[in-house]
Amino acid sequence: MKSAFWPGLLSCLMVSPTRRGDEGRAFRRGLHLLVVGCLMCVQAVGVQAEDGYDLWLRYAPAAPATAEHYRSRTTQLVMPAPSATLAAAHAELRRGVAGLTGQAPDPAVAVTRDGAVVAGTAASSPVVAGLRLDTRALGAEGYLIGSVRVGGHAATVIAANTDVGVLYGSFHFLRLLQTGQTIDALDVRESPRVKLRVLNHWDNLDGYVERGYAGASIWDWHTLPDYLDPRYTDYARANASLGINGTVLNNVNANALSLTPMYLDKTRALASVFRPYGIRVYLSARFSAPMEIGGLQTADPLDPAVRRWWKDKADEIYRLIPDFGGFLVKANSEGQPGPQDYGRSHIDGANMLAEALAPHGGTVMWRAFVYSHEEPEDRAKQAYTEFVPHDGKFRDNVLVQVKNGPVDFQPREPFHPLFGAMPRTPLMLELQITKEYLGFATHLVYLGPLYEEVLAADTHARGTGSTVRKVIDGTLEGHALTGMAGVANIGADRQWSGSHFDQANWYVYGRLAWNPSLTARGIADEWVRMTFSDDDRVVAPVVEMMMGSRQAAVDYMTPLGLHHLMGRGHHYGPGPWVQGGPRADWTSVYYHHADLQGIGFDRSATGSNAVAQYFPPVARQFGDVERVPEEFLLWFHHVPWDHPMASGRPLWDELVMRYARGVAYVSGMRSTWDGLAPHVDAPRHAQVAAFLGIQQKEAQWWRDASIAYFQTFARRPLPEGQLPPLHPLAYYEALQFPHAPGDGR
């Protein structure tokens, strides 16, 4: 376009002198405006704004000295690409290096000068084979990145046992460049600690995303399989850059139509896009599908016709998609059909599906998020009660998928007591990336500290050090089949996740699924450098904002162990007064038990005794009101309003101060972000600033509404210096939000 524009403009300038009088003057004035406008456009191109679409794969130009240094270390790319996966890695390396240094490495068949990058497997690359590298410990997905000499020339090698390992190594190499790391003496060896690293999309076939806050589903089922949106490839690139190797395409509240031939062909098309990036597709299976699309009269898992139907369905799927991953199942939970409808057990249902998938190498991910039709004594106990008796009875291709906490993705929960309690059954940790209970997409809440907190929690199943991390990576009990699942926050919004900072939660999930021992802070530092700037003037304050943001949300929403206080159904905003309806355990009053004497759910030995589901050292700590960590005080105990806290304040005053602390933190984030305006592109800075404004307003709403409600029980004045709520309680109780996004259907 540039080469066509400038000659055309020059030709106009050459013609203009032939114009005479008013016509000529008018022409020249118009031409002057055209030139000025064009120059403004050219200037704008030089400072292109960003919209977030590129995520952490921006490959923004490095500082001049850094770019020159990296150019000298990436002069050639010696990488045969006989497979689609190696071709993807080859393209990514050239794209990334070109963006960062201004010059793509020259493709070459041999190393002929210093600075070559050699990539491949011993099978795909004669140069890699000639290096005789020891890759035995890397496994099927691991890789090494090393500084070597080839034919007397300094080079960098990215080697693996498989093509997908080379792809993962290529992304790691680019991450080093993006974060300004030295690459002069590399000796990196990485392998994933967890086998299945999967996203769960709660996407419906009509494009609606349950608990989604980033627009409609990215899967356009209407145009599939004939049109493959380029966005699908970018989705695969982003996931491969993190090592995510599986995706469940449809909602756990599944529609049986997903298993019909028409939709399986659409799934086949998506699988073809994802395959080069090492990503296998999975489907949520509706347990009653044999009745709804198979014409059977029952879905009883012990019925021979039902078992035959599932085997035939599995065979049909694998004929279309040979690397199909398997099924995710939500059964006998929130009204979903399941084996208990026929007097059968979770074992019967999961093993029936596992039997159908086993000949093809498929996996069943059977969710432990269950609660009975009858109102339980304590919903937090339900999963443990139902699943522990089945330990060791699941087939070896079944993973029991367990949420991080025993209730439902709350801002803070203790770790789920199932972790460590089923030593003969591999458990798959389920985390929520989308922020159903944490302010949707408009609140800046970095979930890395939440994930790290649960992974580091000590179950004491085999003594001190028996962390959840060791349970889910298989090292505690020696399981080979391991997994982590993340409920995706991805939608059709241009920036993918509904807000720029919510991209960080996708990123941190993927990095921790690859290696659960990484730190939330270290991952945040990577993400900021890759997403916004490698300038420490940006990185340091933004990382600090992120690291405190989750605690701030806990403070202004559910401090001191309170939980499930959100609005009914949509979970938007405060609703501690919610009561009534079809189930008591869908209300707030069920969980906080506030009365004139105090507040909190008694799960100690004098209450529901949920503490007994933990191993004795944990149970003793959680069950003792004097020893329980204050962040879980009201989760496990009903405590008097005047109970003395570690701060020296009584409980009521401490509760109010925690709410205020959360609001103050958001105010501080706004100030910090405002100060970064010169260092962040204007469009992204403006959206984040606007969302922080929303967050501060809603944090204040949470604080005021909660205090107004709980003060009716505490009947105590606010601590000195604390202002009363802006409105009376009746105002907050009357607020309605029938069109809040993401509610279940």
pTM: 0.94
- What are the structure tokens assigned to 51, written together? 């919209």
CA pair distance 413, 429, nearest whole angstrom = 14
Identify the domain containing residue 404 by its residue range. Answer: 196-531
Please give the pLDDT value at position 375: 78
* 51 lies in some domain: no
Q: Are residues 445 and 310 in the same domain?
A: yes
Given a contact cutoff of 8 angstroms between Cβ atoms, the answer to whether 211 and 436 are in contact is: yes
* 593 lies in some domain: yes
Reference 320, options 269, 372, 395; nearest CA is: 269
Strands 639-640 and 598-599: antiparallel
DSSP codes, 281-300: EEEEPPTTHHHHTT--S---
Residue that has been written with the tokens 């959680």 in this structure: 622
Strands 153-160 and 280-284: unpaired
46-55, 381-390, 654-663, 674-683: range with lowest mean pLDDT: 46-55
Please give the pLDDT value at position 671: 98
Q: Are residues 362 and 314 in the same domain?
A: yes
How many other CB atoms sit within 10 Å of the CB of residue 42? 12
pLDDT confidence band for 5 (50 / 70 / 90): very low
pLDDT confidence band for 19 (50 / 70 / 90): very low
pLDDT confidence band for 734 (50 / 70 / 90): very high
pLDDT > 70: percent of the chain: 94
Please give the pLDDT value at position 511: 99
- What are the structure tokens assigned to 579, written together? 């009561």
Measure CA of the first residue to CA of the last residue in the chain; give whole Å.
48
Q: Which amino acid is at 696?
A: Q
How many other CB atoms sit within 10 Å of the CB of residue 44? 10
Answer whether residue 470 shows pLDDT above 50.
yes
- The answer to whether the peptide bond before residue 640 is cis (omega within 30 degrees of 0) is no
pLDDT confidence band for 21 (50 / 70 / 90): very low
Q: Are residues 250 and 330 in the same domain?
A: yes
Q: Are residues 185 and 200 in the same domain?
A: no
Coil, helix or strand at residue 155: strand
Coil, helix or strand at residue 280: strand
Burial class of residue 616 (count of CB atoms within 10 Å of its CB; 0-12, 13-18, 19+) = exposed
Out of 190, 221, 254, a domain closes at 190
pLDDT confidence band for 25 (50 / 70 / 90): very low
Please give the pLDDT value at position 292: 98
* Phi (first) and psi of residue 667, to 5 degrees: -60, -40
Residue that has been written with the tokens 């599944």 in this structure: 254
Answer whether residue 42 shows pLDDT above 50.
no
Out of 498, 531, 564, a domain closes at 531
* 380 lies in some domain: yes
Q: Are residues 184 and 123 in the same domain?
A: yes
* 642 lies in some domain: yes
DSSP symbol at 184: S
Beta bridge partners of 154: 149
Across 368-375, average pLDDT: 85
Active site residues: 334, 408, 436
- What are the structure tokens assigned to 168, written together? 């993962």
Q: Which amino acid is at 404?
A: N
* 538 lies in some domain: no
Answer whether residue 439 shows pLDDT above 50.
yes
Q: Are residues 343 and 422 in the same domain?
A: yes
Q: Are residues 186 and 200 in the same domain?
A: no
**Summary mean pLDDT of the chain:** 94
Q: Are residues 415 and 564 in the same domain?
A: no
CA pair distance 158, 146, nearest whole angstrom = 7
Out of 190, 218, 241, a domain closes at 190
Q: Are residues 8 and 135 in the same domain?
A: no
Across 398-409, average pLDDT: 98
CA pair distance 206, 135, nearest whole angstrom = 46
pLDDT confidence band for 376 (50 / 70 / 90): confident
pLDDT confidence band for 374 (50 / 70 / 90): confident
Q: Are residues 219 and 112 in the same domain?
A: no
Residue that has been written with the tokens 């069920």 in this structure: 590
pLDDT confidence band for 182 (50 / 70 / 90): very high
Given a contact cutoff of 8 angstroms between Cβ atoms, the answer to whether 560 and 650 are in contact is: no
Across 356-376, average pLDDT: 92
pLDDT confidence band for 48 (50 / 70 / 90): low
Across 65-86, average pLDDT: 98
Answer whether residue 26 shows pLDDT above 70.
no
* 53 lies in some domain: no
Answer whether residue 638 shows pLDDT above 50.
yes
pLDDT confidence band for 372 (50 / 70 / 90): confident
Q: Are residues 219 and 363 in the same domain?
A: yes
Answer whether residue 497 shows pLDDT above 60.
yes
pLDDT > 90: percent of the chain: 92
* 143 lies in some domain: yes
Q: Per residue in 258-316, pLDDT tens? A: 999 999 999 999 999 999 999 999 999 999 999 999 999 999 999 999 999 999 999 99
pLDDT confidence band for 518 (50 / 70 / 90): very high
**CA angle (556, 557, 559) in 5-degree steps:** 80
Q: Per residue in 560-591, pLDDT tens? A: 999 999 999 999 999 999 999 999 999 999 99
Counting the structural domains of the chain, the total is 4
Please give the pLDDT value at position 531: 98
Q: Are residues 645 and 716 in the same domain?
A: yes
- 544 vs 24 pLDDT, higher one: 544
- Return the CATH number at 728: 3.90.1330.10
* 347 lies in some domain: yes
